[in-house]
Amino acid sequence: MIEVRNLTKVYPGAVALDDISFSVAKGEIVGFLGPNGAGKSTTMRILTGFIPPTTGSATVAGFDVVRQSLEVRRRVGYLPENNPLYPEMRVEEYLEFRATLHQLPRSRRAAAVDSALERCSLGDVRERIVGHLSKGYRQRLGLAEAIVHDPELVILDEPTIGLDPIQVRHVREVIRELGRERTVILSTHILSEVEKMCSRVLIINRGRLVASGPLEDIHKFTTTGRTRLDLRGAPSGAREALGKLPGVANVVEVSRGNDRTFFVEPRDGSDVRSEVFRRAVEAKWEVLEMGPERVSLEDAFVELTDRSGPVADALGAAGEKGVGA
């Protein structure tokens, strides 16, 4: 669905995108992440035909975003972060206007508007003036406008901003439904939303792609190297016994009610899981869980976008090409 190759965008005095490449398959919901100023909005504007790249290429459904911009726009629905609307129009009137701009045939227009209103739960405000809507309703109207022409690709920039928890859940379901038949790119700073909805993530920082791939692959790069061992109760001498194992540098013990969690730090990056498991079996400890300690997507995001961090250093050249891309 999307092919981006060696994409670069240079503004006077600044490089917004620096030779990024990635692909997105049809039917994927992809989280597009990065700190403010990383190049996310520039990438999305290029994919939607708003601005051209300086060098490199991008295609959507096989159409070049520069040479075949109109064909691309027919196949893309876009909800920008600032969500520009016409405040003097009524909700239904606005969607009809947008459907007309998308060149939907008159015979399909009414049904398309009704479907977008229903999907985004806007039926009860269809006659309301847009300028009188709450922030949450305006955001849902922006989402309805992005899907009214039934696009193959939907690009959403902070779609749940300003929504209450019930509205967020509803929008999440709409995005999941869209992802069954369409490709969705979701840009957001709410990383829990990415974990709930996306199968893949792209992480961009300072104009370069630092990681790309399934969520579980991103987590593989963000293990701490420590082994986590959860035990039932508080077995006597467990911390000391773990600390004496070959290859163990340090053991941190954390109380969880009547249970205990041990973080076993290896020496020289060695894998001590087998030694930890063998010791637990010999001591007849009641093991609740054991495995490599992993950080959250939030921690991974911070680590991957920090050039001085160990994960960013470990990714190195692989990150520049796009892990898993």
pLDDT at position 314: 41
Judge if pTM exceeds 0.85. Answer: no
Dihedral angle computed from the Cα positions of residues 225, 227, 228 and 231, in that order, rounded to the nearest 10 degrees: -170
Statement to judge: residues 208 and 184 lie in one domain? yes
Q: List per-block mean pLDDT (blocks of 10 residues) for the chain, which spans 325 residues.
A: 95 93 92 91 93 96 94 94 93 96 93 94 95 91 94 92 84 86 90 86 91 75 78 91 94 89 88 94 94 75 62 40 37
What domain range includes position 52? 2-75+151-219
pLDDT at 221: 57
Residue 235 lies in a domain: yes
The tens digit of pLDDT for each residue in 152-205 reads 999 999 888 878 888 888 888 888 888 888 899 999 888 888 888 898 999 999
Residues 213 and 247 placed together within one structural domain of the fold? no
β-strand partners of 183: 153
Q: Which of 198, 219, 240 is the last residue of a domain?
A: 219
- DSSP track, 111-168: HHHHHHHHHTT-GGGTTSBGGGS-HHHHHHHHHHHHHTT--SEEEEESTTTT--HHHH
The pLDDT of residue 69: 93
pLDDT at 307: 52
60 and 194 both lie in a single domain: yes
Residue 197 CA, distance from chain mean position: 8
Distances (CA, A) of 296 to 215, 223, 300: 11, 10, 6
Is 86 part of a structural domain of the chain? no
**Do 64 and 159 reside in the same domain of the chain?**
yes
| CATH number assigned to the domain comprising residue 263 | 3.30.70.1340
Select from 190, 193, 211 the least CA-distant residue to 201: 211
Domain count, the chain: 2
